[in-house]
Chains A and B, each alone.
Chain A
Amino acid sequence: DIQMTQSPSSLSASIGDRVTITCRASQGISNSLAWYQQKPGKAPKLLLSAASRLESGVPSRFSGRTSGTDYTLTISSLQPEDFATYYCQQYYSTPQTFGQGTKVEIK
């Protein structure tokens, strides 16, 4: 199975900060990566697919990049509604696997 190592596990940031979350795949996954946002007590919401393709309705402050086997999710200017836990997921091969999650908290 492909392992997805997500970092950091948590971070504290202020409104307006630039935030970056990284997922490293244990092998090449050819940009077959999705990012989800999960707020407490809610279902995950798909933010990006194919590493950098923004889903309809997702604000443009969210973006994704690839560097080798490292995939990053960036929030360019953190907003109050962005405080949540973020998960990456590879779908290059089955079983599809998730990162451990990154909790973004208010500083």
Chain B
Amino acid sequence: EVQLVESGGGVVRPGGSLRLSCAASGFTFDDYGMSWVRQAPGKGLEWVSAINWNGAYTHYADSVRGRFTISRDNAKNSLYLQMHSLRAEDTALYYCARVLVFSTSQGYYFDYWGQGTLVTVSS
């Protein structure tokens, strides 16, 4: 059974940093690209970032490029999101999601999702 378990969320002040983690199990982690998708309270879904199977390719939404860094450790079956210069508008539930087919030439969709970890940016 595919499982994705996020952690690392919390309350942080504007301008602060936070590192999210996602522990994967139930599938061969390094066969898949992975992604982060967020959902602000009471709002819709917004794709944030994605990484291919070996970390050679990373993609970012314009809203986070230059502030967030996605990475992975295949030996630990783990995905990460390092977030810097956090803003109030980054407040959201952050989901880790598996990318069925990672592409560098077009978009992709997500076949499994974790339960999310909540990031609150507030003074």
What's the minimum C-beta distance from B39 to chain A, rounded to whole angstroms?
9
Size band of the interface chain A makes with B: 20 to 34
Residues of A within 8 A of B (CB): 32, 34, 36, 42-46, 49, 55, 87, 89-101
- Chain B facing A: main interface SS: loop
Q: Which residue, of B107, B108, B116, has the highest number of chain A Cβ atoms within 10 A?
A: B107
Enumerate 8 A-B pairs (CB-CB under 8 Å) in ascending A order: A42-B115, A91-B106, A93-B106, A95-B61, A97-B47, A98-B45, A100-B44, A101-B44
Q: How far is the CA of A47 from the CA of B44 in the complex (A)?
A: 17
Q: Mark B25-69, 1 if CB is under 8 A from A, else 0.
A: 000000000000000000011110000000000010110000000
A32: B residues at CB distance < 8 A: 106-107
